[in-house]
Amino acid sequence: MVPLSGRGSRRILRSTRGQMMVELAVCLPVMLAIAGIAINLMVFFGDCARFDRVAAEAVRTQAASPGYGSYGTDSRAQDVRAVIEGSFVGSDHLSFSVSAGGVGEGSAGSSVGGSDAPTFSLTPHLEEYTCTLYYRPWGLGDSFFGIQFSGIPHTRTFVIDPYKPGVFL
């Protein structure tokens, strides 16, 4: 390799002098965007894992043991939501919803003696609780380039028999 000297070497150095700055200006925003996406993804997966454990425990303890009186399915769903929200205190980027409904209601009767025989329900009274976590990515707020969104949903559904405490079906 022959060392460059004189005017030729200055011309080569002058033409490549700002190349690293241009490459940095182009690559840095892309690298920061990828880092932001990776951080949001890790936080979302961590919150989902925690939500799965907390929601299962809340449904198992709050919904699977009804009280007497006017303590219906909707009241138990509100209690489940309160327990879930209490476990995520200080997480402003999360919101929750819990809905409940009946499953397996109806009559699966047995007509032994003909059409006049009484029918009764053989299916137990089951309730389905759907717990949903909504995650709003950090740094975006409620809109991104004018597009409104309520968050990324993560849903878990649990079916229980309210008269068998602590049992998932």
The secondary structure element, H or E, covering residue 86 is: helix 73-87
pLDDT in tens, the chain (169 residues): 555 565 655 565 556 678 888 888 999 999 998 998 899 899 999 999 999 999 999 998 887 766 665 577 788 888 899 999 999 988 888 999 999 888 765 434 333 444 555 555 556 678 899 999 999 887 766 666 777 777 889 999 998 887 777 666 6
Contact at 8 Å (CB) between 151 and 138? no
Asked if residue 150 belongs to a domain, the reply is: yes
Please name which of 96, 99, 88, 98 lies closest in space to residue 43, comparing C-alpha atoms. Answer: 88
List, for residues 18-40, the tens digit of each pLDDT value.
888 888 899 999 999 899 889 98
pLDDT of 150: 74
Structural domains counted in the chain: 1
Between the CA of residue 47 and those of 130, 133, 149, what are the distances in Å?
17, 9, 19
Q: What is the mean pLDDT of the chain?
A: 78
Asked if residue 78 belongs to a domain, the reply is: yes
pLDDT of 109: 37
Angle formed by the axes of helices 73-87 and 19-58, nearest 10°: 140
Tallying the residues shown for the chain, one arrives at: 169
Asked if residue 154 belongs to a domain, the reply is: yes
Asked if residue 3 belongs to a domain, the reply is: no
Cα gap 68→99, rounded to integer Å: 21
Cα gap 96→154, rounded to integer Å: 10
pLDDT of 114: 46
Asked if residue 4 belongs to a domain, the reply is: no
Asked if residue 23 belongs to a domain, the reply is: yes
pLDDT of 15: 62
Range of the domain at 139: 17-160
pLDDT of 127: 85
Q: What is the largest CA-CA distance in the chain?
A: 113
- Alpha-carbon torsion (18, 21, 27, 29), positive or negative: negative
Asked if residue 115 belongs to a domain, the reply is: yes
Asked if residue 6 belongs to a domain, the reply is: no
